[in-house]
Amino acid sequence: MDDLNGRVAVVTGGGSGIGRGLALGLAAEGMTVAVADIQSANAEAVAGEIASAGGRAFAVEVDVTSVESLAGAAERIVAEAGGVNLLCANAGVLARIAPLADHSLADWEYTLSVNVMGIVKTVAAFLPALRKSAPDAHVVNTASLGGLLAEVQAPIGAYIASKYACVGYSEMLRAELASAGIGVSVLCPGMVASNLLGTSSANRPEAFGAQADPRLTMGDGDGGAPPSDWFMPAEEVGPIVVRAIRANRLHVLTHPQSRPLVERRFRAMLYDFDFAAEARTPSARGEEP
What residues are labeled active site? 159
Alpha-carbon distances of 17 from 59, 67, 238, rounded to whole Å:
16, 24, 11
d(CA 257, CA 250): 19
Burial of 104 (0-12, 13-18, 19+ CB in 10 A): middle
| Residue 255 burial (CB count, 10 A) | 17
Report the DSSP beta bridge partners of residue 11.
35, 88
| b/e code 68-77 from CB counts within 10 Å (16+ = b) | ebbebbbebb
| Torsion angle of C-alpha atoms 36, 40, 43, 49, degrees rounded to 10 | 150
Q: DSSP secondary structure string, 204-258?
A: --GGG-PPPPS-----SSSSPPPPGGG-B-GGGHHHHHHHHHHHT-SEEES-GGG
